[in-house]
Amino acid sequence: MKKEKEIITSLLEDTGITINGSNSYDPHIHNEETYGRILRGGSLGLGESYMDGWWDVERIDEFIDRILRAGFDRKVRSPQLLANIVWAYLANLQSKRRAFQVAEEHYDIGNDLYEKMLDKRMTYTCGYWSPPAGEAKTLDEAQEAKLDLICRKLGLKGGERILDVGCGWGSFAIFAAEHYGARVVGVTVSKEQVALARARAGNLPVEFRLQDYRDIKDETFDHVVSLGMFEHVGYKNYRTFMHIVDSVLKPGGLFLLHTIGGNRSVHKTDPWINKYIFPNGMIPSIQQIGGAIEQVFVVEDWHNFGTDYDKTLMAWFKNFNEAWPTLKGAYSERFYRMWKYYLLSNAGGFRARYTQLWQIVLSKSGVPGGYKSVR
């Protein structure tokens, strides 16, 4: 156990972190077995030991920011991570048979949680905090700015029919119908999202379906959007996804892909995230997206505002934390620590520029005369 502590201490040398130190990012260890658990389990051991109360830190976001900037994740390679990578190569973890698992384990856990955590429109994707027109001051403003940005990038016109692949609780569909007169079809694998989206939409010209993207066929749309869903598609299915979008998109239409992105190509998500938050997910890279769209779409615009996800996640945690007294009757204390770790560790990841947020505008054969980038 002493040797394990020495190894972890040595690995932290370049981070500025001191175990049991006085800084807000210094972890305080309550169980000496934490060190061995991290060395054996990597990020899974780190996250699970936090959930179990084996260690605490005042600012998880600052702690994660520092260890990622120092490459700590590359220094600790657990047997579990290697096993997960091998399994991801052998199996299609995002097959149609598995498609609804993430809804059952994440999106369907309770609309009460998401209503209290998210903005008033229940937008579960990155907000746009720094548009040229002026800085957003609240989460509601940042999310409305993001939804409007998407509509402007599409050049959305009244009466146009839009497909929203992975529509969540309907925030984009409802916004586009209210503000731009669009007709929107939204698909999701979450039954809870469909039920609440339908209730929130009222008599607007929007339709919400419980449907896997691979079942979309024999329809046409003026434009297609996919906001925060591509992270569930998986590298073995990227090309299929692009061909399906191409098959339903009208000539002259635009496809806007909004996705978290990674700085390097991987074939499996973080083991802790996979087990506790987003089963079967993975973050795409530029190379993987590029290979999937080659000879299918023309890239018209690629916009990175990943630092805005840091602000968004911090706002979500603030809402969640303040609402916890009203939520804890339905959720355990271990869930609280899990959800806190999820939101704040991801904020740290975006702050460290370890992860990005991309909005990519694609056309079928190129916009005549060129696409005018919108910000």
Q: Is the pLDDT of residue 300 over 90?
A: yes
Neighbours of 366 (CB within 10 A): 12
Q: Sorting pLDDT into bands at 50, 70 and 90, what band is 270?
A: very high
Beta pairing class for 298-304 and 355-363: antiparallel
Identity at 14, one-letter amino acid code: D
Q: Is the pLDDT of residue 2 over 70?
A: yes
Q: Yes or no: say if 19 and 9 are a contact pair by the CB < 8 Å rule.
A: yes
- Domains of the chain, earliest start first: 2-77 (no CATH), 96-329+354-363 (3.40.50.150)
pTM: 0.93
Q: Is the pLDDT of residue 338 over 90?
A: yes
For 173-205, write each residue's pLDDT tens digit: 999 999 999 999 999 999 999 999 999 999 999
Q: Sorting pLDDT into bands at 50, 70 and 90, what band is 345?
A: very high
pLDDT at 93 (0 to 100): 62
pLDDT at 362 (0 to 100): 99
- Of the candidates 273, 250, 354, 351, which has an alpha carbon nearest to the alpha carbon of residue 309? 351
Q: Yes or no: say if 335 and 50 are a contact pair by the CB < 8 Å rule.
A: no
